[in-house]
């Protein structure tokens, strides 16, 4: 009989630890998903090179587009608003990270509160993303067929490079799941 009770207690303890780990994983996912482009280090952090590369890509395509004065102004505004949205996203990510640290400093952290802060940050970031995307689409709508061909070529090249990278990663680290 005691063996049965001990196995039930062990199973209950395992279930409790799995539930606790799942709750922690959800909270950490909220923090990770709220991180801004540029990585957890924020400005100058691990993703800084990606941001610089993105700005260089924008500048290189801008030169190829031969924008008129109106398009130039719209393009520059979209770039500025994109940078501002990225900074706002970083600030939201830091807010979530700070909330997580504050909760984890407590004897009994309220992970639901951190998840709510993460959800709010994600919603703000999503709204900013959609506004900036709409602005870029408005710029694109002013393009001539030749300018649209330049954008199309750039997008096709980026998609092909990304697929090549994914293929290389599949070869290096094949999926071993079940």
Chain Cα centroid distance, residue 97: 14
> CA separation (Å) from 149 to 42, 61, 154?
34, 11, 9
pLDDT of residue 57: 76
User: Is the pLDDT at 13 greater than 60, yes or no?
Assistant: no
Burial class (CB in 10 A: 0-12, 13-18, 19+), 136: middle
pLDDT digits (tens, 9 = 90+) for 65-87: 999 999 999 999 999 999 999 99
Q: Taking the C-alpha atoms of 158, 73, 47 and 126 in order, what is their torsion angle to the nearest 10 degrees?
A: -90
pLDDT of residue 175: 72
Give one word for 67, left, alpha or beta, with left for phi > 0 and alpha for psi -120 to 50. beta
Q: Taking the C-alpha atoms of 163, 126, 118 and 40 in order, what is their torsion angle to the nearest 10 degrees?
A: 50
Buried b (16+ CB within 10 A) or exposed e, 73-101: ebbeebbeebeebbeebbebbbbbbebbe
pLDDT digits (tens, 9 = 90+) for 30-41: 333 333 334 444
Q: Note the residue count of the chain.
A: 178
Percent of the chain scoring above 90 in pLDDT: 60
Q: What are the backbone dihedrals phi and psi of residue 109, each rounded to the nearest 5 degrees, phi first?
A: -60, 145
**If you average pLDDT over residues 90-118, what whole number do you get?**
96
**If you average pLDDT over residues 116-131, what whole number do you get?**
96
Task: Quote the CA–CA distance of 90 and 79 in Å, as a whole number.
Answer: 17
Whether pTM > 0.85 for this model: the answer is no
């Amino acid at each position: 009989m005691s063996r049965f009770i001990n196995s039930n207690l062990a199973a209950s303890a395992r279930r409790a630890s799995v539930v606790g780990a799942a709750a922690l994983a959800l909270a950490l996912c909220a923090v990770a998903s709220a991180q801004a482009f540029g990585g957890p280090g924020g400005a100058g952090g691990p993703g800084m090179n990606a941001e610089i590369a993105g700005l260089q890509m924008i500048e290189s395509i801008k030169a190829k587009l031969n924008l008129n004065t109106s398009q130039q102004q719209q393009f520059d505004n979209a770039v500025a608003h994109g940078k501002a949205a990225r900074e706002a996203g970083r600030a939201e990510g830091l807010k979530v990270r700070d909330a997580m640290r504050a909760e984890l400093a407590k004897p009994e952290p309220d992970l639901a509160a951190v998840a709510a802060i993460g959800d709010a940050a994600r919603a703000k970031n999503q709204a900013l993303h959609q506004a900036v995307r709409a602005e870029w689409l408005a710029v694109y709508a002013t393009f001539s067929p030749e300018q649209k061909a330049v954008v199309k070529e750039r997008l096709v090249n980026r998609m092909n490079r990304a697929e090549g990278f994914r293929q290389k990663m599949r070869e290096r680290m094949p999926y071993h799941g079940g």
